[in-house]
A and B are shown apart, each in its own frame.
Chain A
Amino acid sequence: MNDTNSNSVVALIPQINMPPISLRRRVMDHVMTGVAVLTVALVLLPLFAIFAYLVYKGIGSINLAFLTQTPKPVGEPGGGMANAIAGSIVILGIASLLGVPLGIGAGIFLSEYGRNRYGDVVRFISDVLNGVPSIVIGIVAYGLVVMRQKHFSALAGGVALAIMMVPTIARTTEQMLLLVPQAIREAAYGLGVSRWRTTLSITLRTATSGVITGVMLAFARVAGETAPLLFTAFGNQFWNWKTDQPTAALSLQIFTYAISPFDEWHRQAWAGALVLIVLIVAAVAAVRIAVRHGTLAGA
Chain B
Amino acid sequence: MGVGITVEHLNAFYAKTQALFDINITVQANHATALIGPSGCGKSTFIRCLNRMHETIPEARVEGKVLIGDLSVYNGTSATQLRRRVGMVFQKANPFPTMSIYDNVAAGLKLNGFRHRKQLDEVVHKSLHASALWDEVKDHLHKKSGASLSGGQQQRLCIARALAVQPEVLLMDEPCSALDPISTGKIEELIFQLKEQYTIVIVTHNMQQAARVAEFTGFFLLGKMIEFDKTEKIFTNPSDKRTEDYVTGRFG
B12 at the interface (CB under 8 A from A): no
In the complex, A181 Cα to B87 Cα: how many Å? 20
Mark the stretch among A26-34, A39-47, A202-210 that contacts chain B: A202-210
B58 touches A115 (CB 8 A): yes
CB contacts (< 8 Å) of A205 on chain B: these are 96, 98-99
B137 nearest CB across to chain A (Å):
12
Residues of B within 8 A of A201 (CB): 111
CB-based contact A190/B111 at 8 Å:
no
Contacts of A192 in B (CB 8 A): 80-85, 108, 112, 165
Given A191-B161, A201-B111, also A186-B148 (CB < 8 A)? no
Is A184 touching B97 in the complex (CB atoms < 8 A)? yes
Assuming the contacts A192-B108, A193-B108, A298-B145, asked whether A206 and B92 have C-beta atoms less than 8 A apart, the reply is: no
Report the Cα distance A296→B147, complex, angstroms: 10
- Known interface pairs A191-B83, A193-B112; A186-B98 also in contact (CB < 8 Å): no
Chain A residues whose CB sits within 8 angstroms of the CB of B99 once the complex forms: 205, 296
A191-B83, A192-B82, A192-B84 known; A186 and B97 CB under 8 Å? Answer: no
Asked if B98 and A187 sit within 8 Å, CB to CB, the answer is no
Is the Cβ of A183 less than 8 Å from the Cβ of B94? Answer: yes
Interface string of A171-182 (1 = CB under 8 A from B): 000000000010
Interface membership of A299, Cβ < 8 A? yes
Query: Which listed residue, A186, A193, A194, A198, touches B90 by the CB 8 Å rule?
Result: A186
Smallest beta-carbon distance B80→chain A, Å: 5
Q: Does B33 contact A (CB under 8 A)?
A: no
Find chain B residues with CB under 8 A from A217 CB: none
Q: Are A184 and B96 in contact, with the CB atoms below 8 A?
A: yes
User: With A and B bound together, what is the CA distance between A206 and B145 in angstroms?
Assistant: 12
Q: B225 within 8 Å of A by Cβ?
A: no
A197 within 8 A of B: yes
The answer to whether A190 touches B88 (Cβ under 8 A) is yes
Nearest CB of B to A222, in Å: 28
Asked if A21 CB lies within 8 Å of chain B CBs, one says: no
Flag if A193 contacts B97 (CB, 8 Å).
Answer: no
Q: In the complex the two chains form, is B144's CB within 8 Å of A189's CB?
A: no
B208 within 8 A of A: no
Min Cβ gap A294→B in Å is: 9
Q: How far is the CA of A183 from the CA of B148 in the complex (A)?
A: 17
Residue A11, interface by CB 8 Å:
no
**Is residue A135 contacting chain B, with contact meaning CB distance below 8 A?**
no
User: Which residue of A is nearest B140, CB measured?
Assistant: A297
Q: Is the CB of A187 within 8 A of B94?
A: yes
List residues of chain A with CB within 8 A of the CB of B100: 296
Q: Contact at A190–B51, with CB atoms within 8 Å?
A: yes
Q: Given the known inter-chain contacts A296-B100, A296-B144, A298-B147, please indicate yes or no for A187 contacting B90, CB distance below 8 A.
A: yes
- Is A280 positioned at the interface, with any CB of B under 8 Å from its CB? no
The answer on a CB contact under 8 Å between B80 and A194 is yes
Say how far B100's CB is from chain A's closest CB, in angstroms: 6
Chain A nearest CB, measured from B78 CB (Å): 9
Give chain B residues whose Cβ lies under 8 Å from the Cβ of A181: 94
Nearest to A299 among chain B residues (CB) is B145
One of B97, B107, B111, B158 near A299 (C-beta < 8 A): B97
Judging by beta carbons under 8 Å apart, are A299 and B82 in contact? Answer: no
Q: In whole Å, how far is A179's beta carbon from the nearest beta carbon of chain B?
A: 12
CB-nearest residue of chain B relative to A191?
B108
Min CB distance A299 to B, Å, is 4
- Beta-carbon contact of B83 and A296 below 8 Å: no
Pick from B80, B147, B158: contact of A193, CB under 8 Å:
B80
Closest 10 CB pairs of A and B: A298-B148, A192-B84, A191-B108, A299-B145, A190-B88, A192-B83, A296-B145, A183-B94, A298-B145, A187-B94
Residues of A within 8 A of B (CB): 115, 181, 183-194, 197-198, 201-202, 205-206, 208, 295-299
Task: Offer 16 A-B interface pairs, CB within 8 angstroms, sorted by A.
Answer: A115-B58, A183-B94, A186-B94, A187-B95, A189-B53, A191-B112, A192-B85, A192-B165, A202-B96, A206-B97, A206-B98, A296-B99, A297-B148, A299-B97, A299-B98, A299-B145
Q: Residues of B at under 8 Å CB distance from A?
A: 51, 53, 56, 58, 79-85, 87-88, 90, 92, 94-100, 107-108, 111-112, 143-145, 147-148, 158, 161-162, 165
Q: A185-B56, A191-B83, A297-B145 are in contact. List 15 more A-B contacts (CB 8 A).
A: A115-B58, A184-B94, A184-B97, A186-B90, A188-B111, A190-B87, A190-B90, A191-B112, A193-B111, A194-B80, A202-B107, A206-B97, A296-B100, A297-B143, A299-B145
